[in-house]
Amino acid sequence: MGVISCWILQVVLVLQLQVLVSLSHNIISGSVPVGESLTASESKQFSSSWLSSSGDFAFGFRKIQPNDGFTLSIWFDKIPDKTIVWHAQGINTTTGLVPDGSKVTLTADRGLVLTGPGGQQLWSSSLPQTRGSVSRGLITDAGDFGLLSEDPGVVLWSSFANPTDTLLPTQSIVPGGNISSRRKETSFQKGRFRLRLGEDGDLQILTLNSETLAETDVYFSYYSSNTKDPHNPGNRLVFNETGYMYVVMRDNTTRFYVNKKDPVPSKDFYHRAVLHFDGVLAQYYHPKRHGVNNSNNGWSLAWSEPENICAKRFGPSLDANELGNLACGFNNICILGDNHRPKCECPERFLLVDPNDEYGDCKPDFEMQTCGPESNQTATAHQYEDRYEFVTLKMTNWPSGDYKRYSNYDEERCKATCLSDCFCGAVVLGRDRLCWKKKFPLSYGIRDANGDSDTFIKVLKLGSRS
């Protein structure tokens, strides 16, 4: 009797287990069998995701507004924002998004394979050639999606080792590795900023040529950990479990903390660090449960670098200091928000080159003055007054692009010298009465309530012809 009831109990247990396993193999354990797939779908009914065992993170397709496409991503699933922390990168569409009906399949030979509605391959995880095939996928409660080999303990590919713009606690970067900003908040192509741990051990934030976006077209770095000691270089950027970010040297000592103050407890808060599309690297925290510590229920800023990107210009190497721009494009003015993120504003009489990119370049709405054969270098300012006038930008400076400087000038003389000079695009006048002549395009524009300079841009009078 005892034997039989024990046997029945065992059968029941095994059956229950099998039911559990077959219903939710990938939901309860974070484990995804080979052959599973997910489809991007407008109708919620079919949209699904794979969850980590705690349910903190999900993997699947996310609809991106307003670009009207999907991104294959990993996100924080328990919070209303569902903040994305990883996405399939390098998809050959304008915004890096894929259409409705796209499908991702976990395969044994190629790992994750993303195909379009017509079956064409759009992206796949690049697996090492020689390490054998994938036995299953695993989404961890730290937010990492790994593809595991049949050999125990061997990870063939992981999202943590192929980061996009975000780092999560327990993730690290090794020398030569980097994370890249997005093109825009809603464009998932790589943008022009990189957080890189160099082969020399230095942690830097870099800006690239914004047009070619070539990894070799690095303009300069605007943040550095100064950990390239040849005898003991930086060996790893660590974002540890409790939310500290630092550089570990080859001798295992910790040399450089990116966070300048202690993070909030990771027991109660999620952490993430992101290199934003505007070039700001920032760490945020978010309560795991509603009402923890009576804190606000969204993401709060822990720190950001640089603290004022609008005021950044020079890299450590001076040879590149006049190149390009940082957060805002040419002729565009950078204004730092309370959240330490920049906003850009074209000057009066200037328009965005790309109306959809407020961080891009601004172009004049008039024909600019040029120095042609008939321009009169000996003419006085007076003779130009009927054609050109000045737009005044208070508290605004353009610290680069100077070609002449005058001391002890007031506003009238500063403007007059620009008016009579066909090379002059604008003048900046400081409280110190220094008057600086600027050439076009204007770059590194900054407006700041504590600014000590005003700018006067020479513009064609409305109704006048150049």
Ligand X SMILES: *[C@@H]1O[C@H](CO)[C@@H](O)[C@H](O)[C@H]1NC(C)=O
- Residues lying near ligand X in the complex (CB under 6 A): 92, 178, 194, 196, 206, 215, 218, 240-242, 244, 251-252, 254, 264, 293, 295, 376, 378-380
Q: Smallest distance from the beta carbon of 92 to ligand X, in angstroms?
A: 4
Q: Smallest distance from the beta carbon of 178 to ligand X, in angstroms?
A: 4
CB-based contact 400:414 (threshold 8 Å): no
Identify which of residues 113 and 218 has a Cβ nearer to ligand X in the complex: 218
Identify which of residues 151 and 215 has a Cβ nearer to ligand X in the complex: 215
Residue 143's nearest CA partner among 189, 76, 94, 98 is 76
Identify which of residues 10 and 380 has a Cβ nearer to ligand X in the complex: 380
CB-based contact 61:69 (threshold 8 Å): no
Identify which of residues 65 and 92 has a Cβ nearer to ligand X in the complex: 92
Residue 64's nearest CA partner among 51, 46, 83 is 83
Identify which of residues 18 and 464 has a Cβ nearer to ligand X in the complex: 464
Query: How many CA atoms are closer than 13 Å to the CA of 219, on its beta-carbon side?
Result: 19
Secondary structure, 3-state, the chain:
CHHHHHHHHHHHHHHHHHHHHHHHHHHHCCEEECCCEEECCCCHHHCCEEECCCCCEEEEEEEECCCCEEEEEEEECCCCCCCEEEECCCCCCCCCCECCCCEEEEECCCEEEEECCCCCEEEECCCCCCCCCEEEEEECCCCCEEEEECCCCCEEEECCCCCCCEECCCCEECCCCEEEEEEECCEEEEEEEEEEECCCCCEEEEEECCCCCCCCCEEEEEEECCCCCCCCCEEEEEECCCCCEEEEECCCCEEEECCCCCCCCCCCEEEEEEECCCCCEEEEEEECCCCHHHCCCCCEEEEEECCCHHHCCCCCCHHHCCCCCCCCCCCCEEEECCCCCEEEECCCCEEECCCCCCCCCEEECCCCCCCCCCCCCCCCHHHHCCCEEEEEECCEECCCCEEEEECCCCHHHHHHHHHCCCCCCEEEEECCCCEEEECCCCCCEEECCCCCEEEEEEEECCCCCC
Q: Smallest distance from the beta carbon of 31 to ligand X, in angstroms?
A: 25
Q: Smallest distance from the beta carbon of 276 to ligand X, in angstroms?
A: 17
Q: Smallest distance from the beta carbon of 420 to ligand X, in angstroms?
A: 10
Identify which of residues 92 and 408 has a Cβ nearer to ligand X in the complex: 92
Identify which of residues 42 and 241 has a Cβ nearer to ligand X in the complex: 241
CB neighbour class for 376 (10 Å; exposed up to 12, middle 13-18, buried from 19): exposed
Q: Smallest distance from the beta carbon of 206 to ligand X, in angstroms?
A: 6
Identify which of residues 196 and 458 has a Cβ nearer to ligand X in the complex: 196
Q: Smallest distance from the beta carbon of 207 to ligand X, in angstroms?
A: 10
Q: Smallest distance from the beta carbon of 401 to ligand X, in angstroms?
A: 26
Identify which of residues 257 and 440 has a Cβ nearer to ligand X in the complex: 257
Q: Smallest distance from the beta carbon of 423 to ligand X, in angstroms?
A: 16
Q: Smallest distance from the beta carbon of 314 to ligand X, in angstroms?
A: 19
Contacts (Cβ under 8 Å, ≥6 apart) of 370? 422, 466
Identify which of residues 145 and 193 has a Cβ nearer to ligand X in the complex: 193
Identify which of residues 45 and 92 has a Cβ nearer to ligand X in the complex: 92
Q: Smallest distance from the beta carbon of 297 to ligand X, in angstroms?
A: 12
